Amino acid sequence: MTIAQSLLTYIADTWMKGDAAGLDENVPLLELNIIDSTEIFDLVHYVQSEYRVTVPLREVAPDNFRTVGAIAALVERLRAESGSLR
């Protein structure tokens, strides 16, 4: 399972009662009220525990959590910066 697929499943299960219909990597999560600004921190916690990366506070910005694709790119970048292979 890719990072994006894992994130899509988590978001659907957590905030959409398991219904991922219409949810893909490019859906604007905040704009469509799938998550709100406080729920970004729930996603940060999930990302840190699931992918074993540290998300610096400066990275907790709407642009990095706008879409599943943006979150997946953030995870990949943080992994590359830390040298993590998981």
What pLDDT is stored for residue 84 in this prediction?
A: 56
Torsion angle of C-alpha atoms 67, 70, 76, 80, degrees rounded to 10 = -160
- In CATH terms, 3-82 corresponds, of 3.40.50.300, 3.40.190.170, 1.10.1200.10, 3.40.640.10, to 1.10.1200.10
The 8-class DSSP code of residue 80 comes to H
The domain segmentation of the chain, as residue ranges, is: 3-82
Extract the tokens encoding 15.
């905030």
For the entire predicted model, the pTM comes to: 0.90
pLDDT tens for the chain, residues 1 to 86: 899 999 999 999 999 999 989 999 999 999 999 998 889 999 999 999 999 999 999 999 989 999 999 999 999 999 999 875 55
